[in-house]
Structure 1
Amino acid sequence: MKMSDYTSLFRRNKLTITEMYNPFDDYLVIKLAIPKNFKWDAGDHGVFTLPGKEVRGKFFRPFSVASIPKEGFMLIATRANEPKSSFKEKLFDLEVGDQICVYGPFGWFKVKDESTPIVMIATGIGITPMRAIVKELERDESRPFHLVYTSPDRHLFKEELDDIARRNDSFHPVYATNKEATIESYLALADYYGNNAFYYIAGNPKIIKATKKELGKAGIKRTRFIWDPYFGY
């Protein structure tokens, strides 16, 4: 992490909701209109507040941005995680036309270069920054990029990810539903690429720690890890 990763934290914008929907279970996906020339990097996250809403306790939440600027909108996703916090109650009650305030986006969870193979490991809502990275690379056929995405039932953005895989032979998604299948999948990739790939990990902090430990035992150096923990999305 470098100080330059945080410079846009002080940039504040009010964005208007253009679409929000529940794809399944307790997930919520929100699409926001963005002003002209509003930029961020794939993998960045913002700090979001709800202007005009009385939120008890913590009045902000960091969310990874699931879209890239050239799509023309900002996309975020979260889960209710019952019982909902006061912030989540207000967020889930918003409607199209309401506004959300974002500081940033900013961060360190970025594509490092234009040639190194990429292995992405996401659990649950940790798919959000990975979707942005996949969108950034969707026309990149110069290096392989893999996604191991674990969710116990359904997988958010799966149809879109599969469509990208059909159009780009360099992208290889794997959908796991349990811990054993997840570990088997990413260790196979670690065995193939070794330290010649970057390993992007997003999800629960405990799972990230366990994943780095498993990869470390497989010989992957710490310098090859880029991780994005989420805390109570």
Structure 2
Amino acid sequence: MATDLPSYQSEVLSLTHVANDYYELKVKIPAGLHWQSGQYIRLGLPTKAVTDQKKVRALSPAAPEEAGYLQLATRTRQTPSSFKTQLLELQPGEAVTIYGPLGNFTLPTLDHPLVMFASGVGITPLRALIQDALSQKTTNPIELIFTAHDYHLYQADFEAWAAQHANFHLHIVKNRQAAQAALLATTQHYGNTADYFLSGSETVVDAVQTFLTTTGAINADQIHRDVLYGY
């Protein structure tokens, strides 16, 4: 339960409508909160009347702590929950509650390749992991396979990083067939020498893990999962 976790009071810095139903929320880092890239927090809205049974939502920072703020991104879908409806009404300076951090979806020792797969808004923890790895000046390959039907969140950032870092390779895809082709190519190239990071809905992550362990012959202990639940 979120109430059993360390909690911090903070405030909104900005809320931006990025595109379609994607939004980015920046929150001031409260004193005492520290996290590793890839971990997630739970966000509470103490000034709002959230009618959902779940009063908080899990969100993964899309940038390392060194960015100087909590960079959170989400999407609402066609019928937003009460929480998301209230979140979209937040104003700069408004209070929020942060619980956490949680999770172990974090970087391994950077001495071998990283293959990262994201679906939709699942890109958020991977953006932080990639930015962190590049800032550590790793020369090992980093492959990002990013699938979305309509809009690829942070695509411009990834394109800029790919232009700046010869070891970072970006694969933007829009359907299952293209995603599987890119995954198969990476497994054939790196095999079990790489760590595989998967982030997205439970259905997508389960399917990709099955594809990696069967068609790709990747050992299960090389695969790291981050599952997004609900909107």
TM over 0.5: yes
State yes or no: 1:182 paired with 2:179. Answer: yes
* Distance in 2 separating the partners of 1:153 and 1:10: 36
2:18 is paired with a residue whose SS is: coil
* Distance in 2 separating the partners of 1:36 and 1:56: 29
Q: 2:144 aligns with which of 133, 136, 147?
A: 147
| 1:45 and 1:105 in contact (8 A); partners too | yes
Structure 1: state its 5+ residue gaps: 1-8
* Distance in 1 separating the partners of 2:218 and 2:62: 27
Residue correspondence of structure 1 range 1-233 to structure 2 within 5 A: 10-36=5-31, 38-57=33-52, 58-139=54-135, 140-217=137-214, 218-233=216-231
* Distance in 2 separating the partners of 1:82 and 1:153: 14
| 1:23 and 1:29 in contact (8 A); partners too | yes
1:102 is paired with a residue whose SS is: strand
| 1:141 and 1:168 in contact (8 A); partners too | no
* Distance in 2 separating the partners of 1:56 and 1:73: 28
Bigger CA drift: 48-57 or 33-42? 33-42
| 1:119 and 1:189 in contact (8 A); partners too | yes
* Distance in 1 separating the partners of 2:227 and 2:193: 23
* Distance in 2 separating the partners of 1:96 and 1:48: 16
| 1:38 and 1:69 in contact (8 A); partners too | no
RMSD: 1.3
The number of aligned residues is 225
Partner of 1:3: none
* Distance in 2 separating the partners of 1:35 and 1:187: 42
* Distance in 2 separating the partners of 1:42 and 1:24: 24
Q: CA deviation at 1:145?
A: 0.8
* Distance in 2 separating the partners of 1:121 and 1:101: 30
Q: CA deviation at 1:37?
A: 5.8
1:200 is paired with a residue whose SS is: strand
Structure 2: state its 5+ residue gaps: none
* Distance in 2 separating the partners of 1:205 and 1:88: 20
- Counterpart code for 2:203: K
* CA deviation vs aligned residue, 1:134-163 (integer Å, no higher than 9, x gap): 110123232111100001122111111111
1:23 is paired with a residue whose SS is: strand
